Structure 1
Amino acid sequence: MKKVACFGEVMMRLSTPGHQMFGQARQFNACYGGAEANVAISLATFGVPSSFITRVPANDLGECVWQELRRYGVGTQGVYTGGDRLGLYFLESGAGFRSSKVIYDRSHSSFAALAPGMIDWEAQLAGHDWFHWSGISPAVSQSAAEVCLEGVKMAKQLGLQISCDLNYRSKLWQYTDSPEEVMTELMALTDVVLANPDDAWHYFGIKAEGYDIDDPAYNEAVLRLLVQKFPNIKTAVTTLRRTINASHNSWAALMLQHDESLLSPVYDLNPIIDRVGGGDSFMAGLIYGLLQHPDDLQYALNFAVAASALKHSIEGDANLVKVADVAKLMEGSSVAARVSR
C-alpha cells in the first residue's frame, strides 16, 4: 500500500470544558494535535501507512507526542528531539452565535527552532509515495519555512506526490511582511492543494471579480486563478462551508482537475461538537481517496467531505473514524445514524 509522510508541529491543545469562555474556565482539557499530525493520524486510522516528521523537546511532554502518534499507528522515525519547549494552543469552543477563539503559544518551540540540515530528508522520505505539508509550518518561523522547503524539494526529487493545505493563519506570520514570497517557492513544487478564497487572497492576492461569494462558481473561479498562477497544480480543491452559527454549518467541497470541476454532496452539520480539524480531516480523506481510487475523482471528493463531516462530531483535533464509518455516511445519513448492534 502507498505510504504517506507528513511534516509539521504537534502542540498540546488546552481547551475550555463544556464550551466555557476563557474567563469562566478553572481547568482545561488537554490533548495533542496540529494540522499535519491530524492528517497523519486520520490516514493511519483509514489503514494507510503514514509517518510524521517533526521536532519535540527531550522531556515528558515530548514523549507524550511520541506516545500519541504511536497510539494511532503513525510512524515516529521522523520525530527528532531538541529545543526547549512544546508549542501550546488554547481553544475556547464557541456555541450558537458565539464564535470559537484560538490563542497560540508556540514561539521558540522545538519546531520553531528547527534549522536547515537538522532533518535527513532523503532518509525520512525513502519508501514513501506522498508528502503532505501545510501553510502553517512555514508561518511558524523563517527557519521552519527553510526546513519545509528542504522537505518539499527532496520529495519532488524522489518523485513523491506533494500536497498542501494552504491554511493561512494571520496570527502566525510574524517574521516577514511577504508570506507570498515564501509560499510561492513552496507552491511551485506542489501537486495537490486545498485552498479557500481567503487563503488565495491573503497569500497571493487572488480574487475573482463579479461573483456572489456564496456561489460555488466564485470558489471555482478562485481555484482556476490559482491554477493559472501555479500550472504545476494537478488537483485543486476548496471546502464550501456555510455558517449558520458556531453550532450549525453546511459542508461541501468543490474539486478542479484540468478542466473538469466536481461538486460534492452537501451535509448539514448540526450540532457541531468540535470544528477544529475539519479541514485536516478533509485533507486526509482526499489523500485516501486519490490514493485508493485514482481514477474516480468524484469518489475521492465525496469520501473527503463525508469523512470531514463526521469529524465535526468528534471532540479533539484528529478524526478517528474508520473507512467503514465514512462509507456508511456516503450510503446515506439515515444509515449512518442507526445504532450499531
Structure 2
Amino acid sequence: MPKIVTFGEVLLRLSTPNFQKIEQATSFNATFGGTEMNVGASLVKFGFEASHVTTFPNNLMGQKAKAFLRQLDVDTSHVILEGDRIGVFFLETGAVMRASQIVYDRADSSFANINPDLFNWEEILAGADWFHWCGITPAISEGAAKACLEAVKTAKKLGITVSSDIYYRSNLWKYGKTPQDILPELASYSDIILASRKNIEEIFGLKVTVEKGKFIEACKLLMENYPTIKKVIDTERIQVSASHNQYSAKMWNGEELLETDFQDITHIVDRIGTGDAFLGGFIYGQVILQDDLKSLQFGAAAAALKHTIEGDQNMVTVTEVEAVMSGDKSGRLRR
C-alpha cells in the first residue's frame, strides 16, 4: 500500500445538533478533526496506509483523541502524549441563507507547546511515499514551525513527494513571526502546492501584472522562484447558499492549465473538511491514476461527496467517488 505521513494539530470538534445555533444548544456532538489528519483518513478509505504525527495532552482527552485516530485506521505510532489540554473548536452548522460559524479555543494546547526535538523524522518517514503539511500548522507556534521545517527537509532528502495546503489564517500568527517569514522556506521543499493567486502574491511577494490569466502567471512566477514546486492546484467554490454550493478544481502543471467542471452540491450536510477531502482525492489520483486531470476530477468528486458526510473526515470509497466522476449523482439506493 502507498504510505502517506501527515503532521499537524488535531482538535476536539464540538458541533451543535440539528442545525442549532450555539446559543440554543444544551449539548454538543463530540468528535475530532484536523486538516492534515483528515487528508490521511480520506486516503485510508482509498487503500493507503496513513500515519499522523502530532501531540495530545497526557490525560483522558488525549487518550480519547488517539483512540479516535485508531478507529479511522490512522497509525498513531508517532503521536506523543504530553501537555495538559487539547485544542477545541465549536461548530454551528448553518442552513440556507444562515452561514456556519466556528469558534476556536486552541491557545496553550499540547500542540501549541510542541517540542520539535521529540520527533525523529528519519524514523517517522521511513518507507513513506508522500508527506503532507498545511499552512495552519507553522502558524500555531515557533515549535510547530520548526518541526514542520525539519519534516519537509527530511522528506526531500529521502526523495518523498511533499504537498502542502498553503492557505493560512492570519489571526493565528501570534509568536512574532509572519507567514512571509516562515511559509516560503517551507514551500521551497514542496513539490505540489494548493494556493490561490492571492496567496502566491501575499506570501511570496510576487506581483502579477497581467490582466488575463492571473492564476497561470502567478504559478509561473512561483515556479521560477521556487523550482522545486512542480504543480500548483486550487479550488473554486460558488456559494449559492449555506446549503447549496458549486465546487471545481484547477491546476497549472508547468505546461498547461487543467480545470474540472463544477460539481453542483444542493443539500449540504457538513462542509467542514471538504478541502481536505479534495486533497485526499487528488493525492490518490497522483499516486494511483497518475494523470493530472483525473487527479483533479477525483479530488473534486471526493470533495463533493464529503459535503454529504457529517464530521471532519470523508468516509467514502473509491467506488463511490468513481460513480460521481462517471456522472451518477442520482443517489439511487444500492442493494
Partner of 1:305: 300
* CA distance in 2: counterparts of 1:58 and 1:102, whole angstroms: 26
1:234 aligns with 2:230: yes
Partner of 1:105: 105
Change (3 A) 1:225 1:121: same
* CA distance in 1: counterparts of 2:54 and 2:127, whole angstroms: 18
* CA distance in 1: counterparts of 2:25 and 2:49, whole angstroms: 39
* CA distance in 2: counterparts of 1:196 and 1:320, whole angstroms: 27
| Cα displacement string for residues 44-81 of structure 1 (whole angstroms, at most 9, x for unaligned residues) | 11111111111111111111122111112111111111
Kindly indicate whether the alpha-carbon contact (under 8 Å) linking 1:135 and 1:164 is maintained by their aligned counterparts in 2.
yes
The range that moved more, 97-106 or 284-293, is 97-106
Partner of 1:86: 86
Partner of 1:46: 46
* CA distance in 1: counterparts of 2:171 and 2:309, whole angstroms: 26
* CA distance in 1: counterparts of 2:112 and 2:27, whole angstroms: 27
1:285 aligns with 2:281: yes
1:268 aligns with 2:264: yes
Kindly indicate whether the alpha-carbon contact (under 8 Å) linking 1:276 and 1:316 is maintained by their aligned counterparts in 2.
yes
Change (3 A) 1:30 1:206: farther
1:248 aligns with 2:244: yes
Partner of 1:258: 254
Q: How does 1:144-223 map to 2 (within 5 A)?
A: 144-206=144-206, 208=208, 211=211, 217-223=213-219
SS in 2 for 1:171: helix
* CA distance in 2: counterparts of 1:84 and 1:202, whole angstroms: 35
| Cα displacement string for residues 189-233 of structure 1 (whole angstroms, at most 9, x for unaligned residues) | 100111134433442355645658xxxx44444433433332211
* CA distance in 2: counterparts of 1:167 and 1:18, whole angstroms: 30
Change (3 A) 1:116 1:177: closer
Change (3 A) 1:171 1:95: farther
Kindly indicate whether the alpha-carbon contact (under 8 Å) linking 1:96 and 1:245 is maintained by their aligned counterparts in 2.
yes
SS in 1 for 2:132: strand
Kindly indicate whether the alpha-carbon contact (under 8 Å) linking 1:220 and 1:254 is maintained by their aligned counterparts in 2.
no
**Percent of residue pairs bearing the same amino acid type:** 44
Query: For 1:333, which of 312, 328, 335 is the aligned residue?
Result: 328
| Cα displacement string for residues 257-314 of structure 1 (whole angstroms, at most 9, x for unaligned residues) | 11121111211111111111111001111111100022x2111111011001100111
SS in 2 for 1:239: strand
Kindly indicate whether the alpha-carbon contact (under 8 Å) linking 1:285 and 1:304 is maintained by their aligned counterparts in 2.
yes
Kindly indicate whether the alpha-carbon contact (under 8 Å) linking 1:197 and 1:207 is maintained by their aligned counterparts in 2.
no
SS in 2 for 1:307: helix
Kindly indicate whether the alpha-carbon contact (under 8 Å) linking 1:219 and 1:238 is maintained by their aligned counterparts in 2.
no
The range that moved more, 223-232 or 53-62, is 223-232
Kindly indicate whether the alpha-carbon contact (under 8 Å) linking 2:32 and 2:312 is maintained by their aligned counterparts in 1.
yes
- Counterpart residue identity of residue 262, structure 1: L
Q: How does 1:102-141 map to 2 (within 5 A)?
A: 102-141=102-141
* Structure 2: unaligned runs, 5 residues or longer: none
Change (3 A) 1:223 1:242: farther
Kindly indicate whether the alpha-carbon contact (under 8 Å) linking 1:223 and 1:237 is maintained by their aligned counterparts in 2.
no
* CA distance in 2: counterparts of 1:297 and 1:203, whole angstroms: 25
| Cα displacement string for residues 97-155 of structure 1 (whole angstroms, at most 9, x for unaligned residues) | 22222221111111111122111111111111111000011011111111111111111
Q: How does 1:32-43 map to 2 (within 5 A)?
A: 32-43=32-43
Kindly indicate whether the alpha-carbon contact (under 8 Å) linking 2:210 and 2:217 is maintained by their aligned counterparts in 1.
no
* Structure 1: unaligned runs, 5 residues or longer: none
Count residues with an aligned counterpart: 335
- Counterpart residue identity of residue 332, structure 2: R
* CA distance in 2: counterparts of 1:222 and 1:246, whole angstroms: 30
* CA distance in 2: counterparts of 1:18 and 1:208, whole angstroms: 45
